[in-house]
Amino acid sequence: MANIKGQMKRNLQNEKRRLANAAFKSGLKSSIKDVEVAVENKDKDAAVIALSFATKKLDKSISKGISQKNYVARQKSRLAKLVNGL
């Protein structure tokens, strides 16, 4: 454990950010899963709505620095292809 005041504060901030990022990642994975489930159930309307939400979450993950842009582009393309195949 650090005994420098600035480092103690930095450790608290890092832990808070780690938890927030983990929660966001979990929500992101859930939104991607929602699209896949809607496609699996052949529910076009639900799939389109879920795709819109997942795309929004994916774009936000880039701006937050959680995901890389190529990962996001690949996921958006993959999900759009699934939905358009219905």
Condensed to tens digits (0 to 9), the pLDDT of residues 46-78 reads 999 999 999 999 999 999 999 999 999 999 999
Architecture of domain 5-84: Up-down Bundle (1.20)
Choice between 86 and 73, residue whose per-residue pLDDT is larger: 73
pLDDT band at 18 (very low <50, low <70, confident <90, very high): very high
Q: What is the rounded distance in angstroms from the CA atom of residue 35 to the CA atom of residue 82?
A: 9
pLDDT band at 2 (very low <50, low <70, confident <90, very high): confident
- Report if pTM > 0.85: yes
